[in-house]
Chains A and B, each alone.
Chain A
Protein backbone atom coordinates (compact mmCIF):
# COMPACT_ATOMS: atom_id res chain seq x y z
CA UNK A 1 0.00 0.00 0.00
CA UNK A 2 1.24 3.45 -0.89
CA UNK A 3 2.34 5.71 1.87
CA UNK A 4 0.11 8.63 2.74
CA UNK A 5 1.53 11.99 1.82
CA UNK A 6 0.92 14.93 4.11
CA UNK A 7 -0.16 17.88 2.00
CA UNK A 8 -0.75 20.39 4.78
CA UNK A 9 -3.69 21.10 7.02
CA UNK A 10 -7.40 21.07 6.33
CA UNK A 11 -7.43 24.84 6.78
CA UNK A 12 -5.00 25.34 3.89
CA UNK A 13 -7.68 24.90 1.22
CA UNK A 14 -10.75 27.10 1.51
CA UNK A 15 -14.13 25.53 0.92
CA UNK A 16 -14.92 25.70 -2.80
CA UNK A 17 -11.23 25.84 -3.69
CA UNK A 18 -8.60 23.34 -4.77
CA UNK A 19 -4.86 22.91 -4.78
CA UNK A 20 -2.52 20.95 -7.02
CA UNK A 21 -0.02 18.44 -5.67
CA UNK A 22 2.47 18.25 -8.56
CA UNK A 23 3.53 15.07 -10.32
CA UNK A 24 6.70 13.63 -8.90
CA UNK A 25 6.06 15.04 -5.44
CA UNK A 26 2.91 12.96 -5.02
CA UNK A 27 4.26 9.53 -5.83
CA UNK A 28 2.66 9.44 -9.29
CA UNK A 29 3.52 10.88 -12.68
CA UNK A 30 0.29 12.91 -12.74
CA UNK A 31 -0.60 16.20 -11.10
CA UNK A 32 -3.27 15.56 -8.48
CA UNK A 33 -5.92 18.15 -7.59
CA UNK A 34 -7.22 18.15 -4.03
CA UNK A 35 -10.63 19.79 -3.66
CA UNK A 36 -12.35 21.15 -0.58
CA UNK A 37 -15.94 20.63 -1.71
CA UNK A 38 -19.02 22.49 -0.58
CA UNK A 39 -20.12 19.47 1.45
CA UNK A 40 -17.11 20.14 3.65
CA UNK A 41 -15.20 17.05 2.52
CA UNK A 42 -11.92 16.75 0.66
CA UNK A 43 -11.60 14.85 -2.62
CA UNK A 44 -8.71 14.23 -5.00
CA UNK A 45 -8.70 13.64 -8.75
CA UNK A 46 -6.03 13.62 -11.40
CA UNK A 47 -5.79 17.31 -12.20
CA UNK A 48 -5.78 17.04 -16.00
CA UNK A 49 -9.20 17.06 -17.61
CA UNK A 50 -9.78 13.79 -19.45
CA UNK A 51 -11.15 15.67 -22.46
CA UNK A 52 -8.30 18.00 -23.25
CA UNK A 53 -5.38 19.44 -21.35
CA UNK A 54 -6.67 21.76 -18.64
CA UNK A 55 -6.33 21.93 -14.87
CA UNK A 56 -9.45 20.86 -13.00
CA UNK A 57 -8.13 22.62 -9.90
CA UNK A 58 -8.73 25.87 -11.78
CA UNK A 59 -12.32 24.82 -12.48
CA UNK A 60 -15.64 25.83 -11.04
CA UNK A 61 -16.36 23.85 -7.88
CA UNK A 62 -20.00 23.58 -6.94
CA UNK A 63 -21.55 21.05 -4.60
CA UNK A 64 -19.48 17.92 -5.13
CA UNK A 65 -18.77 18.58 -8.79
CA UNK A 66 -16.06 20.39 -10.69
CA UNK A 67 -16.54 22.03 -14.08
CA UNK A 68 -13.45 22.22 -16.27
CA UNK A 69 -12.41 25.85 -16.81
CA UNK A 70 -11.84 25.38 -20.54
CA UNK A 71 -14.68 23.40 -22.12
CA UNK A 72 -17.10 22.94 -19.20
CA UNK A 73 -16.80 19.19 -18.87
CA UNK A 74 -18.09 18.20 -15.43
CA UNK A 75 -16.76 15.55 -13.06
CA UNK A 76 -18.09 14.11 -9.84
CA UNK A 77 -15.53 14.82 -7.12
CA UNK A 78 -16.50 11.68 -5.23
CA UNK A 79 -16.33 9.11 -8.03
CA UNK A 80 -14.45 10.93 -10.79
CA UNK A 81 -17.30 10.14 -13.21
CA UNK A 82 -17.59 12.34 -16.28
CA UNK A 83 -21.01 13.92 -15.82
CA UNK A 84 -21.30 15.67 -19.15
CA UNK A 85 -19.66 15.97 -22.53
CA UNK A 86 -17.15 16.75 -23.88
CA UNK A 87 -15.60 14.39 -21.35
CA UNK A 88 -16.50 10.72 -21.67
CA UNK A 89 -13.70 9.25 -19.57
CA UNK A 90 -13.72 9.45 -15.78
CA UNK A 91 -11.00 11.24 -13.84
CA UNK A 92 -8.87 8.99 -11.63
CA UNK A 93 -9.69 9.40 -7.93
CA UNK A 94 -7.29 9.24 -4.98
CA UNK A 95 -8.16 8.80 -1.35
CA UNK A 96 -7.90 11.82 0.94
CA UNK A 97 -8.17 11.73 4.69
CA UNK A 98 -8.16 14.38 7.38
CA UNK A 99 -6.43 13.12 10.50
CA UNK A 100 -6.03 15.46 13.48
CA UNK A 101 -6.42 18.40 11.13
CA UNK A 102 -3.71 17.08 8.81
CA UNK A 103 -4.61 16.49 5.17
CA UNK A 104 -3.35 13.13 3.94
CA UNK A 105 -3.33 12.05 0.30
CA UNK A 106 -3.08 8.38 -0.63
CA UNK A 107 -1.87 8.47 -4.26
CA UNK A 108 -3.32 5.76 -6.52
CA UNK A 109 -5.63 4.43 -3.81
CA UNK A 110 -9.14 4.89 -5.18
CA UNK A 111 -11.45 7.01 -3.13
CA UNK A 112 -14.22 5.07 -1.44
CA UNK A 113 -17.47 6.17 -3.07
Chain B
Protein backbone atom coordinates (compact mmCIF):
# COMPACT_ATOMS: atom_id res chain seq x y z
CA UNK B 1 0.00 0.00 0.00
CA UNK B 2 1.40 3.40 -0.93
CA UNK B 3 1.87 5.78 1.95
CA UNK B 4 -0.58 8.64 1.45
CA UNK B 5 -0.52 10.61 4.69
CA UNK B 6 1.59 11.18 7.80
CA UNK B 7 0.78 13.09 10.97
CA UNK B 8 3.60 14.22 13.21
CA UNK B 9 2.80 14.96 16.85
CA UNK B 10 5.35 17.52 18.03
CA UNK B 11 7.19 20.32 16.27
CA UNK B 12 10.64 20.14 17.77
CA UNK B 13 13.78 19.26 15.85
CA UNK B 14 12.85 15.59 15.47
CA UNK B 15 9.31 16.21 14.26
CA UNK B 16 10.42 18.90 11.84
CA UNK B 17 13.17 16.63 10.53
CA UNK B 18 10.65 13.90 9.76
CA UNK B 19 8.67 16.36 7.63
CA UNK B 20 11.69 17.83 5.89
CA UNK B 21 13.22 14.42 5.18
CA UNK B 22 9.94 12.98 3.93
CA UNK B 23 9.65 15.79 1.39
CA UNK B 24 13.35 15.47 0.56
CA UNK B 25 12.80 11.77 -0.14
CA UNK B 26 9.99 12.49 -2.57
CA UNK B 27 6.96 11.86 -0.36
CA UNK B 28 4.06 13.78 -1.90
CA UNK B 29 1.23 12.75 0.42
CA UNK B 30 -0.51 14.77 3.09
CA UNK B 31 1.81 15.88 5.87
CA UNK B 32 0.72 17.50 9.12
CA UNK B 33 2.67 18.69 12.15
CA UNK B 34 0.70 19.29 15.34
CA UNK B 35 2.25 21.37 18.09
CA UNK B 36 0.84 23.68 20.78
CA UNK B 37 3.35 26.34 19.67
CA UNK B 38 2.49 26.17 15.97
CA UNK B 39 5.46 26.60 13.63
CA UNK B 40 8.36 24.36 14.74
CA UNK B 41 11.19 26.16 16.44
CA UNK B 42 14.72 25.35 17.52
CA UNK B 43 15.31 24.94 21.23
CA UNK B 44 19.05 25.40 21.77
CA UNK B 45 18.77 29.20 21.41
CA UNK B 46 16.33 29.30 24.34
CA UNK B 47 19.22 29.32 26.79
CA UNK B 48 21.42 31.54 24.62
CA UNK B 49 20.54 34.06 21.90
CA UNK B 50 16.78 33.89 22.33
CA UNK B 51 17.04 34.36 26.09
CA UNK B 52 19.40 37.28 25.51
CA UNK B 53 16.93 38.85 23.10
CA UNK B 54 19.49 38.66 20.29
CA UNK B 55 17.19 36.42 18.23
CA UNK B 56 13.45 36.74 17.88
CA UNK B 57 10.70 34.12 17.79
CA UNK B 58 10.86 34.25 14.02
CA UNK B 59 14.64 33.91 14.01
CA UNK B 60 14.51 30.60 15.86
CA UNK B 61 11.84 28.97 13.69
CA UNK B 62 13.29 25.89 12.05
CA UNK B 63 11.86 27.14 8.77
CA UNK B 64 9.68 30.08 7.85
CA UNK B 65 5.96 29.81 7.12
CA UNK B 66 6.81 30.05 3.43
CA UNK B 67 8.79 26.81 3.62
CA UNK B 68 5.82 24.97 5.09
CA UNK B 69 3.51 26.40 2.45
CA UNK B 70 5.89 25.57 -0.39
CA UNK B 71 6.38 22.03 0.87
CA UNK B 72 2.68 21.51 1.63
CA UNK B 73 3.21 20.79 5.30
CA UNK B 74 0.14 21.70 7.35
CA UNK B 75 0.84 23.20 10.74
CA UNK B 76 -1.91 22.56 13.27
CA UNK B 77 -1.67 24.56 16.49
CA UNK B 78 -3.02 22.35 19.22
CA UNK B 79 -2.41 19.58 21.71
CA UNK B 80 -3.06 15.93 21.02
CA UNK B 81 -5.09 14.26 23.76
CA UNK B 82 -5.54 10.76 22.36
CA UNK B 83 -4.07 8.41 19.82
CA UNK B 84 -5.98 5.60 18.15
CA UNK B 85 -3.21 3.60 16.59
CA UNK B 86 -5.32 1.09 14.64
CA UNK B 87 -7.12 3.90 12.81
CA UNK B 88 -4.12 6.24 12.64
CA UNK B 89 -6.24 8.89 14.30
CA UNK B 90 -5.13 11.59 16.70
CA UNK B 91 -7.72 13.47 18.71
CA UNK B 92 -6.90 17.00 19.79
CA UNK B 93 -7.95 18.54 23.08
CA UNK B 94 -10.46 20.70 21.24
CA UNK B 95 -12.04 17.64 19.67
CA UNK B 96 -10.50 17.92 16.20
CA UNK B 97 -9.48 14.60 14.67
CA UNK B 98 -6.82 13.93 12.11
CA UNK B 99 -6.50 10.52 10.52
CA UNK B 100 -3.52 9.40 8.48
CA UNK B 101 -1.75 6.24 7.38
CA UNK B 102 1.08 6.69 9.86
CA UNK B 103 1.56 8.74 13.00
CA UNK B 104 4.96 9.90 14.26
CA UNK B 105 5.28 10.80 17.94
CA UNK B 106 7.83 13.56 18.44
CA UNK B 107 6.61 14.54 21.87
CA UNK B 108 9.96 15.42 23.43
CA UNK B 109 10.27 15.62 27.18
CA UNK B 110 9.35 17.67 30.18
CA UNK B 111 11.82 19.18 32.59
CA UNK B 112 12.62 16.82 35.44
CA UNK B 113 11.43 18.29 38.74
CA UNK B 114 13.50 18.07 41.88
CA UNK B 115 12.05 15.36 44.13
CA UNK B 116 12.36 17.50 47.24
CA UNK B 117 9.92 19.63 49.25
CA UNK B 118 9.23 22.71 47.13
CA UNK B 119 10.56 21.09 43.96
CA UNK B 120 7.08 21.32 42.50
CA UNK B 121 6.42 24.97 43.41
CA UNK B 122 4.83 26.77 40.46
CA UNK B 123 7.32 29.59 40.88
CA UNK B 124 10.29 27.25 40.35
CA UNK B 125 11.37 27.78 36.75
CA UNK B 126 12.33 25.34 34.06
CA UNK B 127 13.55 25.90 30.52
CA UNK B 128 12.05 23.73 27.81
CA UNK B 129 9.89 26.06 25.76
CA UNK B 130 9.83 29.56 24.32
CA UNK B 131 7.32 30.56 27.00
CA UNK B 132 9.72 29.31 29.69
CA UNK B 133 12.49 31.46 28.18
CA UNK B 134 10.19 34.50 28.04
CA UNK B 135 9.24 34.02 31.67
CA UNK B 136 12.86 33.64 32.73
CA UNK B 137 13.93 36.71 30.74
CA UNK B 138 11.25 38.82 32.40
CA UNK B 139 12.82 38.04 35.79
CA UNK B 140 16.38 38.87 34.76
CA UNK B 141 16.77 42.47 35.82
CA UNK B 142 19.81 44.26 37.23
CA UNK B 143 20.42 43.10 40.78
CA UNK B 144 17.97 40.19 40.60
CA UNK B 145 19.29 37.03 42.18
CA UNK B 146 18.95 33.83 40.18
CA UNK B 147 19.69 30.44 41.71
CA UNK B 148 20.24 27.71 39.14
CA UNK B 149 20.12 24.12 40.32
CA UNK B 150 22.03 21.86 37.95
CA UNK B 151 25.24 22.93 36.21
CA UNK B 152 24.95 20.76 33.14
CA UNK B 153 24.50 22.23 29.69
CA UNK B 154 21.28 24.19 30.33
CA UNK B 155 22.31 25.43 33.76
CA UNK B 156 25.73 26.56 32.61
CA UNK B 157 24.35 28.25 29.51
CA UNK B 158 21.69 30.13 31.45
CA UNK B 159 24.22 31.17 34.10
CA UNK B 160 26.33 32.68 31.36
CA UNK B 161 23.37 34.29 29.56
CA UNK B 162 21.98 35.84 32.77
CA UNK B 163 25.12 37.86 33.48
CA UNK B 164 24.63 40.57 30.82
CA UNK B 165 21.24 41.34 32.40
CA UNK B 166 23.07 42.38 35.54
CA UNK B 167 21.65 39.44 37.49
CA UNK B 168 23.53 37.86 40.37
CA UNK B 169 23.79 34.17 39.59
CA UNK B 170 24.35 31.26 41.95
CA UNK B 171 24.96 27.91 40.27
CA UNK B 172 24.33 24.85 42.43
CA UNK B 173 25.39 21.31 41.57
CA UNK B 174 26.14 18.28 43.74
CA UNK B 175 29.16 17.41 41.57
CA UNK B 176 32.40 19.33 41.17
CA UNK B 177 33.08 19.57 38.29
CA UNK B 178 29.94 18.60 36.41
CA UNK B 179 29.99 17.32 32.81
CA UNK B 180 32.92 14.91 33.26
CA UNK B 181 31.05 12.14 31.40
CA UNK B 182 30.44 14.49 28.47
CA UNK B 183 33.81 16.21 28.07
CA UNK B 184 36.24 14.41 30.37
CA UNK B 185 37.69 15.75 33.64
CA UNK B 186 40.26 18.10 32.09
CA UNK B 187 37.80 20.20 30.11
CA UNK B 188 35.07 19.84 32.72
CA UNK B 189 37.40 21.47 35.27
CA UNK B 190 38.34 24.26 32.88
CA UNK B 191 34.73 24.95 31.93
CA UNK B 192 33.46 24.91 35.51
CA UNK B 193 36.21 27.34 36.56
CA UNK B 194 34.93 29.81 33.98
CA UNK B 195 31.82 30.41 36.07
CA UNK B 196 33.48 32.13 39.05
CA UNK B 197 35.96 33.80 36.70
CA UNK B 198 32.98 35.47 35.03
CA UNK B 199 31.14 36.41 38.21
CA UNK B 200 28.91 33.40 38.82
CA UNK B 201 28.90 32.10 42.37
CA UNK B 202 29.40 28.33 42.28
CA UNK B 203 28.08 26.22 45.14
CA UNK B 204 28.67 22.49 45.42
CA UNK B 205 25.89 20.82 47.34
CA UNK B 206 22.69 18.83 47.32
CA UNK B 207 19.47 20.84 47.59
CA UNK B 208 17.03 19.41 50.14
CA UNK B 209 14.20 21.93 50.00
CA UNK B 210 12.94 25.07 48.28
CA UNK B 211 10.61 27.49 50.01
CA UNK B 212 9.05 30.73 48.85
CA UNK B 213 7.53 33.69 50.65
CA UNK B 214 7.07 37.40 50.09
CA UNK B 215 10.83 37.97 50.28
CA UNK B 216 11.70 35.39 47.64
CA UNK B 217 12.92 31.82 47.43
CA UNK B 218 15.19 29.96 49.78
CA UNK B 219 17.12 26.90 48.63
CA UNK B 220 18.41 24.80 51.52
CA UNK B 221 21.30 22.42 50.97
CA UNK B 222 22.14 19.17 52.74
CA UNK B 223 24.96 21.04 54.51
CA UNK B 224 22.41 23.40 56.06
CA UNK B 225 23.66 26.24 53.88
CA UNK B 226 20.84 28.34 52.41
CA UNK B 227 20.72 30.40 49.26
CA UNK B 228 18.17 33.15 48.85
CA UNK B 229 17.05 34.09 45.36
CA UNK B 230 14.38 36.02 43.53
CA UNK B 231 14.10 33.22 41.02
CA UNK B 232 15.07 29.54 40.99
CA UNK B 233 15.67 27.59 37.79
CA UNK B 234 16.05 23.82 37.81
CA UNK B 235 17.98 22.21 34.97
CA UNK B 236 18.55 18.57 35.89
CA UNK B 237 17.52 16.80 32.72
CA UNK B 238 14.21 15.70 31.29
CA UNK B 239 11.55 13.07 31.61
CA UNK B 240 10.46 11.65 28.25
CA UNK B 241 6.89 12.57 27.32
CA UNK B 242 5.33 9.15 26.85
CA UNK B 243 1.82 9.69 28.21
CA UNK B 244 0.21 9.65 24.76
CA UNK B 245 2.09 6.49 23.78
CA UNK B 246 1.18 4.80 27.06
CA UNK B 247 -2.48 5.72 26.78
CA UNK B 248 -2.50 4.19 23.31
CA UNK B 249 -1.09 0.94 24.66
CA UNK B 250 2.38 1.30 23.14
CA UNK B 251 5.27 -0.19 25.07
CA UNK B 252 7.38 2.30 26.99
CA UNK B 253 10.37 2.07 29.30
CA UNK B 254 11.88 5.48 30.06
CA UNK B 255 10.88 6.39 26.52
CA UNK B 256 8.55 5.08 23.85
CA UNK B 257 10.18 1.86 22.69
CA UNK B 258 11.08 1.72 19.02
CA UNK B 259 13.01 -0.60 16.75
CA UNK B 260 15.97 0.53 14.68
CA UNK B 261 13.64 2.11 12.16
CA UNK B 262 11.99 4.17 14.95
CA UNK B 263 8.81 2.13 14.72
CA UNK B 264 6.94 1.61 17.98
CA UNK B 265 5.22 -1.58 19.05
CA UNK B 266 2.31 -0.60 16.79
CA UNK B 267 3.03 -0.72 13.04
CA UNK B 268 1.16 2.52 12.36
CA UNK B 269 3.09 4.56 14.89
CA UNK B 270 6.70 5.76 14.95
CA UNK B 271 8.46 7.73 17.67
CA UNK B 272 11.48 10.01 17.33
CA UNK B 273 13.68 12.34 19.37
CA UNK B 274 13.91 12.69 23.13
CA UNK B 275 10.77 10.68 23.78
CA UNK B 276 11.93 7.57 21.92
CA UNK B 277 14.20 4.76 23.00
CA UNK B 278 15.57 2.01 20.78
CA UNK B 279 15.14 -1.63 21.70
CA UNK B 280 17.23 -3.85 19.46
CA UNK B 281 15.80 -7.01 17.90
CA UNK B 282 17.59 -9.08 20.54
CA UNK B 283 15.81 -7.18 23.30
CA UNK B 284 18.73 -4.94 24.29
CA UNK B 285 17.56 -1.50 25.37
CA UNK B 286 19.83 1.31 24.25
CA UNK B 287 20.40 4.35 26.40
CA UNK B 288 17.92 7.10 25.54
CA UNK B 289 19.69 10.08 24.04
CA UNK B 290 18.61 13.69 24.47
CA UNK B 291 20.86 15.65 22.18
CA UNK B 292 19.73 17.94 19.43
CA UNK B 293 21.52 16.00 16.73
CA UNK B 294 20.02 12.75 17.97
CA UNK B 295 16.60 14.31 17.40
CA UNK B 296 17.63 15.08 13.84
CA UNK B 297 19.06 11.61 13.23
CA UNK B 298 16.04 9.76 14.56
CA UNK B 299 13.75 11.98 12.49
CA UNK B 300 15.76 11.17 9.37
CA UNK B 301 15.65 7.45 10.16
CA UNK B 302 11.89 7.44 10.63
CA UNK B 303 11.37 9.33 7.36
CA UNK B 304 13.52 6.84 5.47
CA UNK B 305 11.65 3.91 7.04
CA UNK B 306 8.25 5.45 6.25
CA UNK B 307 8.99 5.69 2.53
CA UNK B 308 10.80 2.35 2.39
CA UNK B 309 14.29 3.75 1.79
CA UNK B 310 17.44 2.23 3.26
CA UNK B 311 17.98 3.58 6.75
CA UNK B 312 20.66 6.28 6.90
CA UNK B 313 23.85 5.45 8.74
CA UNK B 314 24.61 7.77 11.60
CA UNK B 315 28.05 8.21 13.04
CA UNK B 316 29.23 9.02 16.54
CA UNK B 317 26.94 11.18 18.63
CA UNK B 318 27.74 14.89 18.79
CA UNK B 319 26.69 17.82 20.94
CA UNK B 320 27.62 21.42 21.53
CA UNK B 321 27.21 24.06 24.18
CA UNK B 322 28.04 27.76 24.42
CA UNK B 323 28.90 29.58 27.60
CA UNK B 324 31.00 32.58 28.67
CA UNK B 325 31.98 33.28 25.09
CA UNK B 326 33.38 29.82 24.31
CA UNK B 327 31.97 27.08 22.10
CA UNK B 328 32.15 23.55 23.48
CA UNK B 329 31.73 20.44 21.36
CA UNK B 330 31.95 16.75 22.02
CA UNK B 331 31.71 13.67 19.84
CA UNK B 332 31.60 9.97 20.64
CA UNK B 333 32.18 8.74 24.16
CA UNK B 334 34.54 10.16 26.79
CA UNK B 335 33.65 7.64 29.48
CA UNK B 336 35.20 4.29 28.57
CA UNK B 337 38.40 2.60 29.63
CA UNK B 338 41.48 3.71 27.75
CA UNK B 339 44.06 6.44 27.37
CA UNK B 340 43.32 10.16 27.42
CA UNK B 341 45.31 12.56 25.27
CA UNK B 342 45.17 16.30 25.85
CA UNK B 343 46.11 19.04 23.43
CA UNK B 344 46.75 22.32 25.18
CA UNK B 345 46.44 25.86 23.94
CA UNK B 346 47.89 28.78 25.93
CA UNK B 347 48.61 26.39 28.81
CA UNK B 348 45.02 25.17 29.08
CA UNK B 349 43.42 21.94 27.86
CA UNK B 350 41.73 22.72 24.55
CA UNK B 351 41.10 19.36 22.92
CA UNK B 352 40.81 16.03 24.72
CA UNK B 353 40.85 12.67 22.95
CA UNK B 354 39.71 9.43 24.49
CA UNK B 355 41.06 6.21 23.04
CA UNK B 356 39.42 2.85 23.62
CA UNK B 357 41.35 -0.12 24.97
CA UNK B 358 42.11 -1.20 21.41
CA UNK B 359 43.77 2.12 20.67
CA UNK B 360 41.01 3.46 18.43
CA UNK B 361 39.60 6.92 18.98
CA UNK B 362 36.33 6.67 20.93
CA UNK B 363 35.63 10.28 21.82
CA UNK B 364 36.81 13.85 21.57
CA UNK B 365 35.79 17.09 23.24
CA UNK B 366 37.06 20.58 22.62
CA UNK B 367 36.70 24.18 23.67
CA UNK B 368 36.69 26.43 20.60
CA UNK B 369 37.93 23.50 18.55
CA UNK B 370 35.14 22.71 16.13
CA UNK B 371 37.44 21.50 13.38
CA UNK B 372 39.24 19.17 15.79
CA UNK B 373 35.92 17.63 16.73
CA UNK B 374 34.91 17.31 13.08
CA UNK B 375 38.20 15.58 12.32
CA UNK B 376 37.73 13.33 15.35
CA UNK B 377 34.25 12.46 14.23
CA UNK B 378 35.56 11.19 10.92
CA UNK B 379 38.41 9.31 12.59
CA UNK B 380 35.89 7.59 14.88
CA UNK B 381 33.34 6.85 12.17
CA UNK B 382 35.91 5.52 9.72
CA UNK B 383 37.82 3.57 12.37
CA UNK B 384 41.06 5.22 11.31
CA UNK B 385 43.95 4.15 13.53
CA UNK B 386 45.90 7.21 14.59
CA UNK B 387 49.20 7.54 16.38
CA UNK B 388 48.57 8.93 19.90
CA UNK B 389 51.76 11.00 19.58
CA UNK B 390 50.28 12.76 16.56
CA UNK B 391 47.00 13.34 18.38
CA UNK B 392 48.91 14.98 21.19
CA UNK B 393 51.04 17.20 18.95
CA UNK B 394 49.27 20.54 18.33
CA UNK B 395 51.41 21.09 15.23
CA UNK B 396 49.81 18.07 13.51
CA UNK B 397 46.80 19.01 11.42
CA UNK B 398 43.98 16.73 12.53
CA UNK B 399 42.34 17.13 9.16
CA UNK B 400 45.22 15.19 7.61
CA UNK B 401 44.81 12.39 10.16
CA UNK B 402 41.15 12.07 9.22
CA UNK B 403 41.84 11.43 5.54
Interface residues of A in 64-102 (CB under 8 A from B): 67, 69-72, 85-86, 88
Do A70 and B320 touch (CB < 8 A)? yes
- Name the contact of A16 in the complex, choosing from B20, B42, B49, B399 (C-beta under 8 A): B399
Do A85 and B20 touch (CB < 8 A)? yes
Given contacts A58-B371, A70-B327, contact A88 B318 (CB under 8 A): no
Q: Which residues of B contact A58 (CB under 8 A)?
A: 370-371
- Name the contact of A67 in the complex, choosing from B13, B42, B63, B374 (C-beta under 8 A): B374
Contact pattern, B 372-395, Cβ under 8 Å of A = 1, otherwise 0: 001100000000000000000000
Q: How long is the Cα–Cα vector from A70 to B320 in the complex, in angstroms? A: 8
Q: Which residues of B contact A86 (CB under 8 A)?
A: 13, 42, 62, 296
Q: How long is the Cα–Cα vector from A72 to B377 in the complex, in angstroms? A: 11
Q: Looking across the interface, which residue of chain A has its beta carbon closest to that of B368?
A: A69
**How many of B's residues come within 8 Å of A, CB to CB?**
20
Q: Looking across the interface, which residue of chain B has its beta carbon closest to that of A88?
A: B63
Do A69 and B67 touch (CB < 8 A)? no
Q: How long is the Cα–Cα vector from A16 to B375 in the complex, in angstroms? A: 13
Contact pattern, A 2-39, Cβ under 8 Å of B = 1, otherwise 0: 00000000000000100000000000000000000000
- Name the contact of A85 in the complex, choosing from B17, B318, B375 (C-beta under 8 A): B17
- Name the contact of A88 in the complex, choosing from B67, B327, B375 (C-beta under 8 A): B67
Q: Which residues of A contact B327 (CB under 8 A)?
A: 70
Do A69 and B20 touch (CB < 8 A)? no
- Closest Cβ of chain A to B75, distance in Å, is 15
- Name the contact of A72 in the complex, choosing from B13, B63, B293, B375 (C-beta under 8 A): B293
Q: How long is the Cα–Cα vector from A52 to B61 in the complex, in angstroms? A: 12
Given contacts A88-B62, A88-B63, A88-B67, contact A71 B320 (CB under 8 A): yes
Q: Which residues of A contact B67 (CB under 8 A)?
A: 88
Q: How long is the Cα–Cα vector from A67 to B315 in the complex, in angstroms? A: 15
**For the complex, would chain A's binding face be called helix, strand, loop or mixed by DSSP majority?**
loop
**For the complex, would chain B's binding face be called helix, strand, loop or mixed by DSSP majority?**
helix
Q: Which residues of A contact B13 (CB under 8 A)?
A: 85-86
Contact pattern, B 312-329, Cβ under 8 Å of A = 1, otherwise 0: 000000101000000100
Given contacts A85-B296, A88-B20, contact A72 B62 (CB under 8 A): no
- Closest Cβ of chain B to A8, distance in Å, is 22
Do B320 and A69 touch (CB < 8 A)? no
Interface centre among B17, B67, B296, B370 (most CB of A within 10 A): B370
Q: How long is the Cα–Cα vector from A67 to B377 in the complex, in angstroms? A: 12
Contact pattern, B 161-191, Cβ under 8 Å of A = 1, otherwise 0: 0000000000000000000000000000000
Q: How long is the Cα–Cα vector from A52 to B375 in the complex, in angstroms? A: 22
Q: How long is the Cα–Cα vector from A71 to B20 in the complex, in angstroms? A: 18
Contact pattern, B 51-80, Cβ under 8 Å of A = 1, otherwise 0: 000000000001100010000000000000
Contact pattern, A 37-60, Cβ under 8 Å of B = 1, otherwise 0: 000000000000000100000101
- Name the contact of B371 in the complex, choosing from A52, A69, A85, A88 (C-beta under 8 A): A69
Q: Which residues of A contact B371 (CB under 8 A)?
A: 58, 60, 69
Q: Which residues of B contact A52 (CB under 8 A)?
A: 45, 49
Q: Which residues of B contact A71 (CB under 8 A)?
A: 320
Q: Which residues of A contact B296 (CB under 8 A)?
A: 85-86
Contact pattern, B 9-44, Cβ under 8 Å of A = 1, otherwise 0: 000010011001000000000000000000000100
- Closest Cβ of chain B to A54, distance in Å, is 9
Q: Looking across the interface, which residue of chain B has its beta carbon closest to that of A69?
A: B370
Q: Looking across the interface, which residue of chain A has its beta carbon closest to that of B16?
A: A85
Q: How long is the Cα–Cα vector from A80 to B318 in the complex, in angstroms? A: 24
Do A72 and B318 touch (CB < 8 A)? yes
Interface CB pairs A-B, < 8 A, 19:
A16-B399, A52-B45, A52-B49, A58-B370, A60-B371, A60-B375, A67-B374, A69-B371, A70-B370, A71-B320, A72-B318, A85-B13, A85-B16, A85-B62, A86-B13, A86-B42, A86-B62, A86-B296, A88-B20
13 more A-B residue pairs beyond the given contacts A70-B320, A70-B370, A88-B63, with a C-beta to C-beta distance below 8 A: A60-B371, A60-B374, A60-B375, A60-B399, A67-B374, A69-B371, A69-B374, A70-B327, A72-B318, A85-B16, A85-B20, A86-B13, A88-B20
- Shortest 8 CB-CB distances between A and B: which pairs? A69-B370, A60-B374, A88-B63, A85-B296, A85-B17, A69-B371, A88-B67, A60-B371
